[in-house]
Amino acid sequence: MADVLLLLAEGFEEIEALGTADILRRMGLNVTTASLKDETVTGAHQIPVLADTLLDDVDPTGFDGVILPGGMPGSLNLYNDERVINLLYNYAGENKVTAAICAAPMVLDKAGLLEKCPFTMYPAEDLYKYLRDSKRPQADRVVVDGKVITAKGPGVTAEFAAAIATVLAVDSNTIKSVLDSMFVKL
């Protein structure tokens, strides 16, 4: 089964991070949460979470993809971390999955991943200033373009996780079974 890295920065959106990790683990993927600084990371709604590891202790070659939850200031913390930008750039070059939800697609854009790629993100004018070349997101809830996956916000976390699982070749029956067991309707 695939191994994915989920990055946690101070101020991350808890539903997007933990919901995605939970659903993907139920689907059989190995999800490793990695904090940018400290083992304990506090989300945007003041919920502290213990990360599996620190980003500096991760061998990025051991993963099939990376997931960026949104939230503020979590997305800005990801955006301003050169390690994250370099990781995304390298993963794109290796044709690995790069997934971002809510405000976090702006981080994908900073790394150059959205240049010719349709995407979606949280619809807020104050976030668009972080996008290069006056880009604007599509209105879709989830957009998949090859191995780049973007999603709109917390309410589409299950759809986001299902899209990641699909791109990582999880069996469609497994995806359906997990979502059905959680009473998720897509």
Active site residues: 102
d(CA 106, CA 32): 22
What is the separation of C-alpha 104 from the centre of its chain, rounded to a whole number of angstroms? 7
The edge-to-edge listing of strands for the beta sheet with 53-54 is 53-54, 30-35, 3-8, 65-68, 97-101, 148-151, 142-145
Q: Are strands 3-8 and 65-68 parallel, antiparallel or unpaired?
A: parallel
Q: Which of 129, 95, 93, 126 is nearest to 110 (CA)?
A: 129
What is the greatest pairwise CA distance in the chain? 42
61-89 burial code (b ≥16 CB/10 A, e <16): eebbbbbbbbbbebbbbbbebeebbebbe
> Contact at 8 Å (CB) between 164 and 67?
yes
